[in-house]
Amino acid sequence: MSTVKKVALISGANKGIGFETARQLGKQGIKVLLGARDLAKGQAAAEQLKKEGIDARAVKLDVVKPADVNAVADLIEKEFGKLDILVNNAGVMTEAIGGNTTTTVSEKALRETFETNFFSVISVTHALLPLLKKSDAGRIVNVSSILGSLTLHATEGSPIYEAKALAYDSSKAALNAYTIHLAHELKGTKIKVNSAHPGWVKTDMGTDAAPMEIVDGAKTEVELATLGPDGPTGGFFHMGEAISW
Residue at 2 is within a domain: no
Q: What is the pLDDT of residue 209?
A: 54
In angstroms and rounded to an integer, the radius of gyration of the C-alpha atoms of the chain is: 17
Q: What CATH number does residue 180 fall under?
A: 3.40.50.720
Q: Which amino acid is at 65?
A: K
Residue at 104 is within a domain: yes
- The range of the structural domain enclosing residue 29 comes to 7-242
Compute CA distances 49 → 19, 46, 56, 62, 194, whole Å. 9, 5, 6, 21, 26
Q: What is the pLDDT of residue 216?
A: 83
Q: What is the pLDDT of residue 30?
A: 98
Element (H, E) at 29: none
Residue at 103 is within a domain: yes
Contact 70, 124 (CB under 8 A): no
User: How confident is the prediction along the chain (245 residues), in pLDDT tens digits per residue?
Assistant: 444 699 999 999 999 999 999 999 999 999 999 999 999 999 999 999 999 999 999 999 999 999 999 999 999 999 999 999 999 999 999 998 778 999 999 999 999 999 999 999 999 999 999 999 999 999 999 999 999 999 999 999 999 999 999 999 999 999 999 999 999 999 999 999 999 999 765 455 545 554 457 788 899 999 999 999 999 999 999 989 999 99
Domain count, the chain: 1
The CA distance from 189 to 120, in Å, is 24
Contacts of 144 (CB under 8 A, 6+ apart): 172, 175, 176, 179, 195, 196, 197, 236
Residue at 21 is within a domain: yes
Burial tier of 47 (Cβ tally within 10 Å: 0-12, 13-18, 19+): exposed
Residue at 1 is within a domain: no
Q: What is the pLDDT of residue 98?
A: 76
Residue at 160 is within a domain: yes
The CA distance from 175 to 63, in Å, is 15
Nearest CA to 95 out of 86, 84, 106 is that of 106
Q: What is the pLDDT of residue 206?
A: 47
Q: What is the pLDDT of residue 217?
A: 81
Residue at 69 is within a domain: yes
Cα three-residue angle 113-107-38, rounded to 5 degrees? 35
Which letter does DSSP use for residue 194 in this model?
E
Contact 10, 32 (CB under 8 A): yes
Q: What is the pLDDT of residue 207?
A: 52
- Assess whether 168 carries a catalytic annotation: yes
Element (H, E) at 184: helix 166-185
Which member of 19, 114, 168, 236 is catalytic? 168
Is the C-alpha dihedral spanning 81, 69, 49, 84 positive or negative?
negative
